[in-house]
Amino acid sequence: MKIDAEALLFDNDGTLLSSMESVIRCWTRWAAEYGISAEEFAAVELHGRPAAEIAADLLPADVVPGAVARIEQLEVEDVTAPGGVVLLPGTAALLASLPADRWAVVTSATRRLAEARLAEAGIRPKAMIAADDITRGKPDPEPYLLAARRLGVDPARCVVFEDAPAGLRAGRAAGMKTVALATTHDASELVADVVVSDLSAVSAQATHGGVEIVVAD
């Protein structure tokens, strides 16, 4: 499958890299510190959601700001631990093939945490939208629409790469084409223009008008 686009917008965790081992390690410690039972913690979806939303599901409102600061501290400190950040297949080759002004990272993590993880993986995007930049997170289209504006590209000419259903819904709501990666969810749970195993199934080449993307479907 070929897609002509002007910009590629990438989710971070589960798309470009994996920090799942770190996430589980840090959030488990965080939950214990705040007296959250294993049953309560197991019922909450962690992946692809801002920390503030997760904390608000589990704690009283007056405790949430301090709890969010605490989990950010734990996760930033854990970036360099074994398994803290693992580059996913295809990421390095695909990003190396793209002009720096033709792609951006759109993440539900805070900017501080996202930059720490990306730097550990050797990725330095020219543009990034983080939780700090928005008022409504995925599945709202705001993060992806803001990324398109930052790059100066029509949303209809953007392609979103995501591993989570909420992120894919955000991309579709923004009027963008979507490519789903079955890295954290079963392919049957993912609704997109095309579903692949990971970014090793994607290649791209800069053209005079933008980027030609080839996806093995």
Active site residues: 11, 13
Which has the closest alpha carbon to 102: 140, 57, 151, 142?
Answer: 151
Question: Beta strand pairing status for 128-129 and 103-106?
Answer: parallel
Q: Which of 43, 170, 78, 73 is nearest to 65 (CA)?
A: 73
| 177-181, strands of its sheet edge to edge | 128-129, 103-106, 7-10, 158-162, 177-181, 194-196
Instruction: Work out the number of other CB atoms within 10 angstroms of the CB of residue 89.
Output: 14
